Structures are given as C-alpha cells and as structure tokens.
Chain A
Amino acid sequence: MDEAITQVKNALEDTAVTDAQIRDTVWNYYFDVDQSVNFLRDLRKKQENKKQSAAKKSSKAFHERLLFADTVTCRPGTGHRSSGKLRQSTQSSPSISKQKTPLVSRCQYGVSIFDGIPWGLPASMNTEITYCGGPTPRMGLLGGSSKLAALAKSRAAKRQQELEYQQQPQPMEDVQPATPSTPSAIALPKSPLVLDTAVPSTPPASGASVSKRLTSLLAERSRDRGRTTSRAISPEKQSYLRRTGSQSPSVSSLSPNSDLSSASAVFSENIPSSFATSLCDSAFAQSTFSSAASTSSSPAFDGMSADEIWKMITNKPLFYLPVTEKQAEEIAKNFARPSPDDIIKDAQATKGGTASVTSSKKVQPQKASNRAGLEKDMKSLSMQDHSVKIPQSRQKINVVEAFSSSRRKLHINFVVLGHVDAGKSTLMGRLLYDVGAIDARTIEKYKRDASNIGKGSFAFAWVLDQSAEERARGVTMDVAMNSFESSKVAFTILDAPGHKDFVPNMIAGASEADFAVLVIDSSPNAFEAGFTQSGQTKEHALLVRSLGVQRIIVAVNKLDNVNWSEFRFDEVKETLMPFLSAAGFSESQTSFVPCSGLSGDNIVNRSIRPELSWYKDRTLLEELESLTSVERDIGAPLQLSVTDVFKGGSSSAINITGRINAGNIQVGETVLAVPSNETAAVKSIAIADQPNNWAVAGDNVQIALSNIDIVHLRAGDILCASANPVRCAKTFSARIIAFQLRIPLIKGSNVLIYRGRTTEAARILRLVAVVDKNTGKITKNKPRHLISGQTAIVELEVIGNSFPMETFKASKDLGRIVLRQDGNTVAAGIVEEILSVKNDGTRD
C-alpha cells in the first residue's frame, strides 16, 4: 500500500494531492499505479477548470468548518448553501479521510448516492440519503430500465434546478463518480459529514436537540435519523431511493422510540459491503464492539471518537421492509417540479443512477448469509438487473475476497456408487424426500406411475432417474445431479449409474465429488455378486479412490431384506473393510451405516425399529454432515471442466454446465475453451439455479457464454483463464497402477483415457519402468508388459483429439486419469509430465 502511494506520489510530482487521496485512488484501482496517477491528474485538471471559489484548506480548518456546517445544517434555510460549500471544501481537503478512514470510505458510498439525488429534497429525504449509501458504483452504466432512467432524469433535472437556484458553482462532474471510463468515484474523498451537511433539514425536526460538539455529531445524526424513520413516510423514501437506484435497503423495523439503537441499525446499512470492508483498513476487521453496545444511551457516545462509534455500528444486523411500487411513485411525484434540462447532465445522472443498481447487483453475493432479509431484498433487485445488458467494462470483482467474506454454506458434492441395483437411486430419492427436497405429492405420483408399469419399488429412484428410458429400464444411465440443503451444509448428489456399461458416466460423476457414498445391497447373495471381480462394487471403490476421493461412507442398504440382521451388517463390513483399506481408504475415513432406502430407516431419521436397536451410531445424513470440506485453491488460475453444452431455451446463449476445478470465475470475464482455443465471454453464472456473479473452485455451475460458437465447445472441454491456458497433451508420461487385468498392458495397447467427461482413445507408447508401489523406486526398466497390481511409469500417446490436461503437480483434478480397455478399468494414474502438446485448436 505504502509502496503504491509513494509510487503514485513520485509519478504525480504534485504536493497538492494528499496521501489519503492517493490512497483512495490506489485502492480503487487495485493498486494499479499508472491508472491511479492518470486519474489523479484528470481530477486535478477538472478541479482547476472549475475555478471554484473555495480554496484548499487545511484539514484542521476543515474540521472546524464541518463543525460549523453541522450546526448550521440543522437550521432551516441554510442547508443548501452550506452543503454546497462544504462539498467543495471536502474535495480540496481530503486529508480528513486519512484520519477517519472508515468514515470516509463509507461516505464515499454516500457521495455516489448524491449523484442521483437532487439537493432540494425534503430534509428528511436527505437524511435518508445520508445513511442509505450503498457501495460506490464502480462501473459504467447498465443501460437502465426505462423506469429507472426516467426517475434518474427527473432527479437530475431537479438537481440542476437546485444548483442554479443556489447560484453555486456546482459542477456535476465532481460528484459524478461513476462514468464508465473512470470508475473511480471513491477517489473523491468526502467526509461523511459532508453528507450530514447535505441534510439541510428544511423542516426542523421535532424537538431533537442539536449538538454543537463534534464528538456528539454522530449521536446527533442518529437522533436525526431516528426521528426520520419514525415518520410514516420513511419506507416510501426508501423505496424512492431504491427506485432511483441508490440501493438503499429499506429501513423497516426501526423503533421510533429508541433513537440511538435504531440509528445504529440504520447505520449498518451503510456499512460498506464486506468486500469493501476487507479492502479497507484493518480498523474494520478489528472492530470489537459488540452490537449490544449500540443500544447504549446517547451520553455514552460523547466520549467516543467517530471511528469507535462506527466500528460499533458495523456489527449491527438489519431488517428491511418491502415497499410497494405505488408508494415509490408517490414519492416520485413529489419531485415533479419543472426544471431546465441539461441533456448532458441528464445522461450523466442516468449513468450514475443506473450504476448504483449495478453496484447493488455486485454487492449481492458479498452479503453475509445471516442477512437473510437483505439477501432477499437484493435478489429482487438483481432480478431487475438481469434484463439489463451487461456493461462492457465491468469492474473486476476480487472473488477470493468476496468468497472469504461471503460465509456461504459449506458446499459438498458427493457421488453415490455401488453395483447395479444396489439401490443407489432409491436411497438418494428417499434421502431427498426425507429432507423435504421432494414433496409428498410428487412421490405419490411416482409411486402411482411406477406401479402402473410394474415397478412400484422404483418410485424413489424416479426422483433421480428422470429420463423415460431410465425409468422404463429401471437403471440409471447417466449421472443425475440433485441438490439439497441440510441445516449446515449444501449438498450436491451425483447419483452414478451402477451398470458396467455406464462406468464412464460414473467416472464423470466421481471426478466431481468430494466424498463418496458406496451403496451395498445386503440381500442374500446380492452383496457377493457385486463384490466379485466383475462386479462394480470393487471397480467403483477403486476408481473413486484413484480419482482422489478419500472419504467414503458405506451405506449397507436393503437390510430389510435380511430382517435387519446385525450379523449380516458385520459380515458385509468385515468383508469390505480389508478391501477398502487395500484400496487406500483409511479406517478413520470409512464409516458404515445400516439402512434401507425403501423403508427409509437410518437415512435421515433414526430407525425406531426394535430389530435395528443394535445400531446406535449416526444416520446417513448425520454421517454426511460430519464431513468437512476439502481445501480448494480458489485463487489459482481458472480451470473449469465442462460437463455439458447446450443451447439455452429462449435465449440464444450457449450454456455450459461444469465444475470449477480451480480458481474462480465471474460474470464479464473472458475465458479460453480448450482444446478449441476459442475465447468466450461469461454472460451469466448460476450456482444451483441461483444466479450469482461469481463462482469458485468446487462449485458446480451453469454458465451462459457469448462470443463463441457451439461447435467449439464439447462436454469434456476445459475452460481456463486465457493467461494460463491448459495444455493439450499429445504424448505424456504417467504413473499408473494396473488394476485387475484381463490381458496385460503392453506397448501398443489401445486404451481409452477418461477424466471427468473427457474421453479419448490412446495407446501405450512405451513402458518406461515398473516401480515399487510403496517406495516409488524403479524395480525394472523397460518391462515387456504390465500385469495386475503393478505400478509403472508409462508413456501414452493420445490418438485423435488432443487431451487437455495438466501434470498432477500442477492440478490435482486435471492430472488424474483412468485407463480403460474393452469395458474394463485397467489402470488409474497421475500425469507426471507432458511430453508433447497439440495446441493448434483443431479437432479431428
């Protein structure tokens, strides 16, 4: 930070620009020195051009002025004038921001609100404005819905009129922070007090006393606030503000009686987004005041610095009231005074107004999840936004910061595995039903339909087996994805097919999973059948382990078929455990749950059957919830595995679904599709059908892309950051573990490489060496062939299309491969080195 400031200072060679100003600018440009310098230069030029009467003041003088202004503003009639003056003075003496960083940053948001607000509003309204500032819009216009535009226009007109009336030189540019080219309103340092001065209090408030001391300034403000909110029009104002795009959440549950507490509550609306908070000084982070403190009485504030109060306030949660559109229109009518219309300024005002909306959209994901009310509020806003065209120069979101401050629910993907007919889909259908993700009516319908075709027991499986063919045949064919949330965790179920022919689909599912649920059919002989060499129980378990899954829950299903026998459960457990440990699942990472998908015992609800009283441990859901998330590298360059490509229903956009393996993605970003090497722009992102502006590693997302033709995309492709393209291997070396082989692997063996949805034919170019499984030492060079269980280093050549991959070292997800031959999994391995690449973007 300091370094950047010094750099900018040096670059500017201008002492007139204060540190704080620079600091703000540098912040705003994400420490881009060049841009900051440019901006500051521009800013200075503008200031000179304006020939403003107010000279540059020292920060001390400014303080005095503020004090003065504040007292003045409370008097009717003088408000406008002082506000104008003060605004200028703050522009020229930004050093105040240095002393009150949090306040300044907050006020910056407030300032932007003024763009959209005529100064001639009723005092109460202005008060509202002061407090309701959202984060500064940092980007260009959204285009704007017609309603918004109209409102913004009228506001601008009004402001213009007001300005002229005041005969004050009041250049709009200065308070026009958000033009598309200079998304840097923050750089105009303004004290929050400026906002207060803008509270001209035309109608004197009810007997609220006006404090003349600076220290009590905030208290005064809050009182003012409380007063305002106690009025009936309060929600309307809010709605007005919202409609004008100032993104002020409505103040709903403010108590008219408790000035301070309500005021502080309102204050917290003003809290910069968590994103901004994290950008700000640590002062925010260090905020130690409990929210309870804010309920203290007014005298308690006297001794506090504004900073302290601010800190305290930031801890307050909020509540909001929905506001009707009608109310909003009423408010709008209030300002329908005729005014001279400056077209340019109009346009600017429109920009400012709509930009605010954009900001609200941006803020949405950053809100803490405990602010449910606000979230809701925001969602309604963002719905509006979606009809709006995406601005070209969208400001980059620092997703890592946004993510760390968003406190989303823990998101876990788990894959459901097991031999065919083990009851995977039924078990998951039951789970979804019991947690309430599926309503009883749907299940009833499935039950009816299923029994109509003589498959009554398949009703729950139909929750996941959606396609007509899957239902008719009674087998899962493709991975079904379903989501549900428990109180603690948001889960995504990947219900893998058990049939041997669909193992590729199972691999696709398993490669998206953090954890695995292995379903065992405990019916007589069924378990044994699934556990044979050709059964899928073993293959699935080995595969999922070699795909990097370490934690496995074994659901011993269909126990109702063996009369809930504990003996059978133990038998299954004892047969399975040695195999699982050999496969690489540690005992602590493996748990067994006796259950029945059909009856629902021990799935979500603990079984109350006396026959099952021997089991006291956790139910399946409890086991799932006990899982902890895996670490994901969300700051790394983007790597997203495409699982599906399809054209959107109504829109012409190309949609993809996929899983983010590493890094993050945000709306507006340009990504590179590999292997076609075509770039595409991210138009929108949805996580679990909820629109979001960004997504991070581990998320399963649906993304609408523009500027790309559908022929360049295919399931199995990788989307990556264009700066860090994923390579497309033609030949590579890998360390593989041979599974149970029917025929040995020799030089020239044709295999299919699988990784996620990506499949490609390949052949073994060379067997480099057999290595010891445990020590990794080479035991034999250039073996003639590999037999079951051997670990070896081999070189593979991709036949046909090249294969986007990374070494295992570089990417845990993209560096894992599975080799299959003639429908059998012959080996799993990790990519050691990419020997030659084919990156010409062609497909064969």
Chain B
Amino acid sequence: MKLISKQLDKEGAGSIRLQPEEAADLWHAYNLIHTGDILKASTFRRITKDKDKDSATGFTGTSSSSGSSQRIQLTLAITVQKTDFDPSAGALHASGPVVEESPHVRLGAYHTLDLALHRAFTLSKLPNAPWDSVALQTVTSACDPASRAEVGAVVLQPGFANVCLVTEHMTLLRQRVEIAIPRKRAADSAAGHDKAVTRFYAAVAAAMSRHFDYGNLKAVIIASPGFTGEQLLQYLLDTAAKDVDSGSATAGTNKMLIKSKNKFLLVHCASGHIHALNEVLRAPEVLARLADTKFARESATLETFFSVLNEGEEMGGVKAWYGPKQVAAAVDRGAVKTLLISDRLFRSDDVKKRKYYVALVEQVRSQGGEALVFSSLHESGKQLDQFTGIAAILNFAIPELDEMSDDDERDEIQIDEH
C-alpha cells in the first residue's frame, strides 16, 4: 500500500488517500472501509444520454431505446453501505449512494466501486466514526514494505493436498488436490496404487507451479504426516531436473524451482487438512526462518493461549480466558498480558462495537499489555473467531471469571454503555 496523502483533524476525522499495490492491500482496505465512511475512487459507469435532456439521469436502462448508452470513466464518492471482499480473487467491492455531485450521476444514485490494484482511493471518515488507533495501525502496517513476505505452503497427506499462499495477513487457499489412492494390495493391482500416487504428486506439482512464483516466495513449506512431503519434494526435484534437461515448455519454471531449492522447508504435520497450517506455522523450523512474520507470531500466541488454558487447573486458577465479557472484566482489572483479538470485530457494522473494541485494545496497551490483532484470513485467526474472536492471556488468575454466565448462546457481544 502506498500512502499518498493524509488529512486528519484532532479527533481523527478526515481522509487518507491510499494506493493498493498487492492483493493483501485490498484486505487492508477491506478492514479500513466501514459502513458510513465516504469512499472516493475512480470507477466506470454506463451512462445513458437522453436526447431531450442534456444531463444524464444517472438511471440506466430506463430509456434504453431512445438514448445511447456509453461506458465512461469517472470519479465518484459514495457513502459505503456494504463492502464485499473475495480473498482468493483479490476483489473488493464497496457500494452505496453517491454523495458528491458529478456531471453524469445524480446524487443518491447507487454505485458500486471496484477497488483495484494500482488505483488510488480516498477514504474519509466522519467525526462520529473517526480514524481510530487500530485503523491507523492497519494503515501503518499496510504501508510497511518489509511486511510483504509471501510464503508458499503445501499441506498434504496421501491423496489429499492443499496448496496455499501465506502472506503477512492472509492465507489464500489456491488449490485443493484430491485424488483417491487405492490401497496397496497383492502384487496384481499394486500398479494401481503406484499409478495413483504418481498422479497425485503430478497434480500437486502442477498446482504448485501454477500458483507459486518461486523467485519471489520467501519460502516454500511442504508439510505432511509420514513421508508424503518428502516424496513430493523428491518428485518435484526429479521431474524438474528431467524437465530442464529435456528443455520443455515448463523448463523456465522448473529452472527456477531448482534454483530455489534451498527455499523448501520440509515440516511435519498431523494431516493434510488446511487447518493443519496452524500447526505448521508454529513449527520450530518455520519459526526459525519466519519468526518476524505476523502469521508465525499469531500461531505461536494462540498456541500459548491454549497451553495456558490447559494447565490452568493445576496452576491455581485459569490464566487464560475467552469471550467478550470475561475479557472485558479482565481488562478492567488490568490483568491482561496478551489480548488476542480478531480483526473481524473491528469490521462490525455497529460503530459502537467498533469503538468499544478499539477502546479495549487501547486500554490493554496503556496497561502495558500486548494486543495482537489476528487476521481472520489466517488459520489462527479463523480459530480465534470460532471462540468469540476475543481471548486473553492473563498475568494472574481471576476466579470470578468462572462464575460469569454465558447467557448469550451465540456469544454476540452485548455492549454496555460505557
């Protein structure tokens, strides 16, 4: 993300102009753009010109026969009512009524802005929902060029593989490979097994070469139970070497693969399911190479949370809690050592809720605690989301938390007015 301009008043209201540079930036933008904000960006719109009128109505399709329609590029500002993000396609749409006058579009006409890479947008926040510390931190981290580490990861088990890209803030499942491998049986049809295994490795290798740009990846993690990963790596290197020798069309990719041989990281994990990534990303060999990355930190913190929660009983009270009420109570007592919070909570449509969680984060930080905003696109963040999206590791046990009832089944946060 490129920060082009920033005009904020004391309360934090104002506008920031940003230019997304890579797919992850759209994710940041998605986290920044909230309902009610004013978003201004360049866009395309089909304009129908009526013959009797000079100005466009802004409505399309009403007079299709009489007028001529034309697709023109224009800059529009809308009040955001809905945002929509597709992480795998890298598309972010924001829609709402137009709030700034334009020669072509009526005020109040609805428009959907497509935010695209390399096209700047201006996001203005109003005084009632100004730029808060979390949002500003997002902007800062988004604009940090050092955080652009991208890691390729393949988690697999026999017959089942997930090919993913892990960036600082996102885990993108690029392809899932599933090939039924018959079991090995007496001599006659063992060939069926071997054939299927080869087919499986070939499919995974093809998926990898399609989605991984070996030159730019920081590392390529291959994780599996047993020896599957080992065999995949062997297969990759063998076929790449053969391919380069024969000088086929894919020789270029494969040359790169062989060049980046030392980027491959063989890790053990329990299964080929995507959530095994969590286990992979906190593996010592991964941490050794990617310790400074956000996803590794998130996975490790979540792991700490779990182990603290587990040893709770013996250690004289549980020193880890989850759930908005319990965490809030703990924050009130200044007991929070690490706050784990999902960015999902800051995307709430309810301004009050957003403010409440921002306040919570600020409070923890002011108390000297650490507040870690988990990306809900990572496996760790997804998992955190599963148990309310907010959790805390405490400095000391608070027995009263145990008695707090968890009335609301869905753990929707009931925010008191404070």
Of A154-162, A553-561, A781-789, which stretch is located at the interface? Answer: A781-789
Which residue of chain A has its CB nearest to the CB of B309?
A744
Q: Is B303 interfacial (CB 8 A cutoff)?
A: yes
Say if the beta carbon of A763 comes within 8 Å of chain B.
Answer: yes
For the complex, what is the distance from the CA of A139 to the CA of B388, rounded to whole Å? 64
Minimum CB–CB distance for A796 against chain B, Å: 12
Among the interface residues A499, A785, A821, which one has the most CB atoms of the partner chain B within 10 A?
Answer: A785
What chain A residues lie within 8 Å of B225 (beta carbons)? 501-502, 823
> Interface segment, A26-34, A522-530, A628-636, A638-646?
A638-646
What are the interface flags for A439-475 relative to B under an 8 Å C-beta threshold, 1 for contact and 0 otherwise? 0000000000000000000000000001101000100
- In contact, A741 and B310 (Cβ under 8 angstroms): yes
Q: Is the CB of A743 within 8 A of B309?
A: yes
Q: Which residues of B contact A824 (CB under 8 A)?
A: 270
Q: Smallest Cβ distance from A421 to chain B, in angstroms?
A: 16
Task: Name which residue of chain B comes closest to A473, CB basis.
Answer: B227
Write the chain B residue with the least CB distance to A508. B183
B226 at the interface (CB under 8 A from A): yes
Chain A hits for B185, CB < 8 A? 644, 646
11 contacts between A and B (CB under 8 A): A478-B183, A499-B226, A504-B271, A643-B183, A646-B189, A649-B188, A744-B306, A748-B385, A752-B273, A763-B386, A784-B406
Q: How far is the CA of A750 from the CA of B409 in the complex (A)?
A: 19
CB-nearest residue of chain B to A481: B185
B64 to chain A, nearest CB (A): 40
CB distance from A835 to the nearest CB of B (A): 14
B275 touches A750 (CB 8 A): yes
Which residues of the partner chain B approach A47 to less than 8 Å between Cβ atoms?
none
A746-B322, A752-B271 are known contacts. Are A822 and B279 too (CB-CB below 8 A)? yes
> Taking the complex as formed, is A820 at the interface, i.e. its CB lies under 8 A from any CB of chain B?
yes
- Decide yes or no whether B67 CB sits under 8 A from chain A: no
Task: Say yes or no for B313: interface residue by CB 8 A criterion.
Answer: yes
B:398-414 near A, CB below 8 Å: 402, 406, 409
A747-B388, A749-B383, A824-B270 known; 19 new pairs, CB 8 Å cut-off, are A466-B186, A467-B193, A469-B227, A501-B268, A502-B225, A502-B226, A645-B182, A646-B183, A646-B192, A647-B192, A649-B189, A742-B306, A742-B307, A743-B303, A744-B310, A746-B387, A747-B386, A748-B385, A787-B310
Q: Which residues of B contact A504 (CB under 8 A)?
A: 271
A772 to chain B, nearest CB (A): 17
Report yes or no: A820 in contact with B270, Cβ–Cβ below 8 A. yes
Docked complex: B250-285 residues within 8 A CB-CB of A: 268-271, 273, 275-276, 278-279
Across the interface, name the chain B residue whose C-beta is closest to A750: B275
A823 touches B270 (CB 8 A): yes
Does residue A263 face the partner (Cβ distance < 8 Å to B)? no
* Contact, CB under 8 Å: B271 / A746: no
Does A742 contact B184, Cβ atoms closer than 8 Å? no
Is A243 close to B, CB under 8 A? no
- The reply on A538 being an interface residue by CB < 8 A is no
**Knowing A469-B227, A644-B183, A647-B192 touch, does A785 contact B275 (C-beta < 8 A)?**
no
* Complex interface: chain A residues within 8 A of B385 (CB): 748
Which residues on the B side are within 8 Å of A649 (C-beta)?
Answer: 188-189
Q: Mark A761-792, 1 if CB is under 8 A from B, else 0.
A: 10100100000000000000010110110000
Indicate which residue in A467, A784, A788 contacts B184 across the interface (CB closer than 8 Å). A467
Q: For residues 792 through 844 of chain A, which have their beta carbon under 8 Å from a beta carbon of chain B? A: 820-824
Interface size for A (C-beta < 8 A) is: 45
- Closest B residue to A710 using CB positions: B180
CB distance from B311 to the nearest CB of A (A): 9
> Across the two chains, which residue of chain A brings its CB closest to B274?
A761
Q: Within 8 Å CB of A644, what residues of B?
A: 182-183, 185
Q: Which residue of chain B has the shortest Cβ distance to A757 in the bound complex? A: B183
Residue of A nearest to B387 (CB): A748
**What is the chain B residue whose CB lies nearest that of A497?**
B226
CB-CB < 8 A to A766: which residues of B?
409
CB distance from B410 to the nearest CB of A (A): 10
- The CA of A442 and the CA of B272, in the complex, are separated in Å by 37
Whether B323 sits at the interface, judged by CB under 8 Å, is: yes
Question: Does A714 sit within 8 A of B, measured CB to CB?
Answer: yes
Q: Which residue of A is nearest B405, CB measured?
A: A782
CA distance A251 to B190 in the complex (A): 44
Q: Is the pair B387, A747 in contact by a Cβ cutoff of 8 Å?
A: yes
Q: How far is the CA of A644 from the CA of B181 in the complex (A)?
A: 9
**A736 CB within 8 Å of chain B:** no
Binding site for A on B (CB under 8 A): 180, 182-186, 188-190, 192-193, 225-227, 268-271, 273, 275-276, 278-279, 303, 306-307, 309-310, 312-313, 321-323, 383, 385-388, 402, 406, 409
8 A-B pairs closest in CB distance: A748-B386, A823-B270, A743-B306, A646-B182, A501-B225, A748-B387, A501-B226, A750-B275
CA–CA, A501 to B157, complex, Å?
A: 10
Most buried by B among A499, A715, A750: A750
Residue A728 CB within 8 A of the other chain: no
Give the distance in Å from the alpha carbon of A504 to the alpha carbon of B225 in the complex: 11
Cβ of A439 to closest chain B Cβ, rounded Å: 16
- In the bound complex, residues from chain B placing their C-beta under 8 Å from that of A744 are 306, 309-310, 312
B271 near A823 (CB under 8 angstroms)? yes
A477 within 8 A of B: yes
Shortest Cβ distance from A477 into B: residue: B226
A822 touching B276 in the complex, CB below 8 Å, given contacts A743-B310, A746-B309: yes
B226 CB to closest chain A CB (Å) equals 4
Q: Are A782 and B406 in contact (CB under 8 A)?
A: yes
Once the chains bind, are B276 and A784 in contact (CB under 8 Å)? no
Closest to B224 in A: A501
List which A629-683 residues lie within 8 A (CB) of chain B. 643-649, 657
- Chain A hits for B278, CB < 8 A: 750
CB–CB A822/B323 < 8 A: no
Complex: A6 Cα to B406 Cα, angstroms: 66
Q: Which residues of A contact B309 (CB under 8 A)?
A: 743-744, 746, 785
Q: What CA separation (Å) do A785 and B269 show in the bound complex?
A: 24
In the bound assembly, the distance between CA atoms of A822 and B310 in angstroms comes to 15
In the complex, what residues of B have CB within 8 A of residue A749's CB? 383, 386-387
User: Which residues on the A side are within 8 Å of B276 (C-beta)?
Assistant: 822
Of residues 27 to 78 in A, which have CB atoms within 8 Å of B's CB atoms?
none
Residue among B184, B323, B383, B386 making CB contact with A466, cutoff 8 Å:
B184
Q: Kindly name the residue among A466, A748, A759 whose own CB sees the greatest number of chain B CB atoms within 10 A.
A: A748
Give, as a whole number of angstroms, the nearest-CB distance from B312 to chain A.
8
Nearest Cβ in chain B — how far from A483, in angstroms?
12
Tell me which residues across on chain A come within 8 A of B227, comparing CB atoms: 469, 473, 477
Q: Which residue of A lies closest to B282 (CB)?
A: A822
- Which residue of chain B lies nearest to A467 when distances are taken between CB atoms in the complex? B184
Q: Whole-angstrom distance between the alpha carbons of A750 and B402 in the complex?
A: 24
Cα(A741)–Cα(B311), bound, Å: 10
B55 to chain A, nearest CB (A): 51
> Could you tell me the distance in whole angstroms from the C-beta of A50 to the nearest C-beta in chain B?
55
Chain B residues near A747: list those with CB within 8 A: 386-388
Question: Roughly how many angstroms separate A420 CA and B279 CA in the complex, as a whole number?
Answer: 23
Q: Give the complex CA separation of A501 and B183 in angstroms.
A: 17
User: CB distance B189 to A478 under 8 Å?
Assistant: no
Return chain B residues, CB-CB under 8 Å to A715. Answer: 180, 183
Flag if B180 contacts A645 (CB, 8 Å).
Answer: yes
Collect the chain A residues with CB atoms within 8 Å of residue B306's CB. Answer: 742-744
> What distance in Å separates the Cβ of A225 from its nearest Cβ neighbour in chain B?
47
Question: Would you give the shortest CB distance from B351 to chain A, in whole angstroms?
Answer: 27
Residues of the B chain whose Cβ atoms lie less than 8 Å from the Cβ of A473: 227
Beta-carbon nearest neighbor of B384 in chain A: A748
**A325 shortest CB reach to chain B, Å:** 30
CA distance in complex: A502, B225 (Å): 8
**Per-position contact with B for A105-146: 1 when CB-CB < 8 Å, else 0?**
000000000000000000000000000000000000000000
Q: Write the nearest CB–CB distance from A697 to chain B, whole angstroms.
A: 22
Instruction: Give chain A residues whose Cβ lies under 8 Å from the Cβ of B184.
Output: 466-467, 478
Q: Is the CB of A742 within 8 A of B271?
A: no
CB-CB nearest in chain B for A763: B386
- With CB as the reference atom, state the residue of chain A lying closest to B276: A822
Residue ID in chain A nearest B326 by CB atoms: A784
B391 to chain A, nearest CB (A): 9
